[in-house]
């Protein structure tokens, strides 16, 4: 099931996946409204709501981008418009539709004005709805999407988004804490019990929608997993205060306030500036992979094993879009940032455009993050298992070890489907660490620190036979989803207590 979900959701960009999920919620709302189950909310009112929110968001985004001479990201505007359409009550009233249009305009303005070095700080839809709530209280956010009739499709959409972004744990933490607080407050009144309070929380409050479609926005999340979990706890606690009716002056506790505070916390601990990378050149790593080098215009801070999200506008983008996340292959602190990429026969338009870059051309990076970092205690031995181009983050780790003179004990297990398509052979051979190769046949010449251990497949039994102290090591698995999902439980069965994973889904 997980393999199927990885394959299906990986066919489109994250923005398009969110669009599809939002459109599914909209379709369900229209169908339910025709049965009269949404009370006074008619299908015509719903359509008018969305038409105004989406149209104004799209047009305003294009206008701001034109004035500021920035390429407009239309899918982002459409997502914000659809979310706004689900926050404001769908009624056919001129003043109400004006409020929705104003919220959409403010939302798009916030992307460019409430930004730091071209990186927006707050969720645009939340900013737009919050400001309109302050200046037009009767037309503020009503969160009509929080109904029991829409909950099933919202749950499915939220699950798909959180699964794709590997943030299911964060989403579950938020839902459990927010629903628990609201249920406890409801039960404390004596009018209902805790169980009934949970049902009320999940059906009358936008908890699931909020977790899947708003809290999960990548540009307003902190870079590390533990930081994201902390933010989920903080935002959930603030979210729950709504049931108290808590307020400071005219500002009442609400999901919007909770999210904006969470966005600010994420901004303070995350990458607070846009990154411009100047293309230097490329080097062939194998018949199907390349290493691309970029020189940042400003120093870039990252930890070995982290990723960077690149944005590359190009002609005729396919369904995979203008952005892609790559693990960094170079060591921190250098003048050049490097990425290893694999090129398939039918490569994406993004990778095609990336390989067509000329020295001096630039791309932008919108995020740095990830938790695929080694233990702080350098005395802790590690086991680094890679499949294919999943070797990339380990190249960064090994280069960093060599640069800072770390005496860490590391064993790299490198698996490949072919013996003549190994990436980063030169870089791995320059390391003082052991490299264990699993490939169909033994290469004619192996560097001195390499050992051929068999044709595979790599099983826990084979792994333990060549790394008998694996259970004493912190293990890392990087590569295609199938390899990661197969080896992770195998390592745990072999007694390995700590396993971190990094997925290379091939898109």
Instruction: Please spell the DSSP secondary structure of 128-196, one letter per residue.
Output: HHHHHHHH-GGGS---TT-STTTHHHHHHHHHHHHHHTT-HHHHHHHHHHHHHHHHHHHHHTTSS-HHH
Q: Tokens 């744990």 sit at which residue? A: 169
pTM (whole model) above 0.85: no
Phi, psi of 369 (to 5 degrees): -175, -165
Domains of the chain: 2-269 (no CATH), 275-369 (2.40.30.10), 382-503 (3.40.50.80)
| Sheet strands (E) in 346-473 | 362-369, 382-387, 410-415, 434-438, 450-454
Asked if residues 477 and 502 have their Cβ atoms less than 8 Å apart, the reply is: yes
| pLDDT for residue 506 | 41
CB within 8 A of 43, min separation 6: which ones?
Answer: 30, 33, 34
- CB atoms inside a 10 Å sphere around CB 24: 15
pLDDT along the chain (507 residues), means of 10: 69 84 95 86 92 96 87 86 93 89 95 76 93 79 87 96 90 96 86 87 93 90 88 93 65 82 87 80 91 92 90 76 86 92 79 91 87 90 91 94 84 88 88 90 85 85 88 90 80 84 62
Task: For the chain, give percent helix, strand, coil, nearest 5.
Answer: 50, 15, 35
Integer Cα distance of 269 and 257 in angstroms: 19
- 3-class secondary-structure state, position 252: strand
Phi, psi of 385 (to 5 degrees): -105, 125
- 3-class secondary-structure state, position 209: helix
| pLDDT for residue 140 | 65
- Pairing label, strands 289-296, 382-387: unpaired
- Pairing label, strands 119-120, 434-438: unpaired
| pLDDT for residue 359 | 95
- 3-class secondary-structure state, position 319: coil
Instruction: Give the C-alpha distances (Å, rounded to integers) separating 287 from 396, 406, 419, 440, 463.
Output: 21, 32, 11, 17, 27
Q: What is the pLDDT of residues 57-101, one digit of tens each?
A: 999 999 998 898 877 778 889 999 999 999 998 888 888 899 999
Alpha helix positions (H), 189-307: 194-204, 207-209, 225-240, 255-269
| pLDDT for residue 121 | 86
- CB atoms inside a 10 Å sphere around CB 51: 14
Integer Cα distance of 322 and 312 in angstroms: 5
Q: List the beta bridge partners of residue 4.
A: none
Nearest to 145 by CA among 212, 87, 79: 87
DSSP assignment of 488-502 equals HHHHHHTT---EEEE
- Pairing label, strands 410-415, 434-438: parallel
């Amino acid at each position: 099931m997980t393999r199927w979900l990885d394959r299906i959701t990986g066919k489109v960009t994250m923005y398009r996946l969110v669009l599809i999920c939002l459109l599914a919620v909209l379709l369900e709302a229209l169908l339910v409204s025709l049965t009269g189950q949404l009370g006074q909310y008619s299908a015509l009112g719903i359509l008018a709501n969305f038409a105004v929110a989406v149209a104004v968001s799209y047009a305003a985004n294009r206008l701001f981008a034109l004035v500021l001479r920035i390429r407009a990201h239309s899918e982002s505007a459409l997502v914000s418009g659809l979310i706004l359409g689900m926050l404001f009550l769908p009624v056919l009233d001129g003043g109400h539709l004006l409020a929705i249009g104003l919220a959409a305009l403010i939302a798009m303005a916030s992307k460019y004005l409430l930004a730091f070095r071209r990186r927006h700080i707050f969720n645009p839809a939340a900013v737009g709805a919050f400001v309109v709530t302050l200046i037009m209280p009767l037309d503020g956010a009503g969160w009509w999407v929080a109904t029991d009739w829409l909950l099933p499709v919202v749950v499915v959409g939220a699950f798909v988004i959180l699964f794709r972004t590997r943030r299911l744990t964060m989403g579950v933490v938020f839902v459990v804490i927010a629903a628990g607080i609201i249920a406890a407050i409801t039960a404390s009144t004596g009018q209902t019990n805790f169980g009934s309070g949970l049902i009320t929380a999940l059906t009358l409050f936008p908890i699931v929608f909020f977790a899947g479609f708003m809290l999960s926005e990548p540009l307003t999340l902190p870079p590390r997993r533990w930081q994201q979990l902390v933010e989920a706890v903080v935002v959930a606690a603030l979210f729950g205060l709504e049931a108290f009716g808590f307020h400071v002056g005219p500002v009442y506790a609400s999901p919007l306030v909770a999210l904006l505070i969470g966005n600010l916390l994420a901004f303070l601990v995350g990458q607070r500036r846009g990154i411009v990378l100047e293309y230097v050149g490329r080097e062939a790593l194998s018949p199907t992979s390349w290493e691309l080098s970029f020189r940042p215009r400003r120093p870039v801070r990252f930890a070995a094993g982290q990723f960077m999200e690149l944005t590359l506008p190009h002609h005729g983008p396919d369904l995979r879009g203008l952005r892609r996340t790559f693990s960094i292959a170079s060591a921190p602190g250098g003048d050049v940032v490097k990425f290893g990429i694999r090129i398939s026969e039918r490569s994406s338009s993004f990778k095609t455009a990336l390989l067509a870059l000329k020295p001096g051309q630039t791309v932008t990076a919108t995020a740095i993050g990830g938790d695929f970092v080694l233990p702080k205690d350098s005395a802790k031995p590690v086991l680094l298992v890679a499949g294919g181009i999943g070797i990339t983050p380990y190249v960064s780790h090994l280069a960093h070890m060599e640069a800072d003179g770390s005496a860490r004990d590391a064993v790299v297990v490198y698996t490949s489907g072919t013996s003549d398509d190994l990436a980063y052979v030169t870089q791995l051979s320059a390391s003082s660490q052991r490299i264990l190769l699993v490939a169909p046949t033994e290469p004619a010449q192996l560097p001195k620190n390499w050992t051929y251990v068999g044709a595979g497949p790599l099983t826990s039994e084979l792994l333990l036979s060549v790394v008998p102290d694996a259970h004493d090591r912190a293990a890392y698995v990087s590569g295609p989803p199938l390899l990661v999902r197969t080896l992770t439980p195998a390592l745990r069965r072999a007694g390995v207590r700590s396993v971190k994973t990094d997925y290379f889904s091939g898109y």
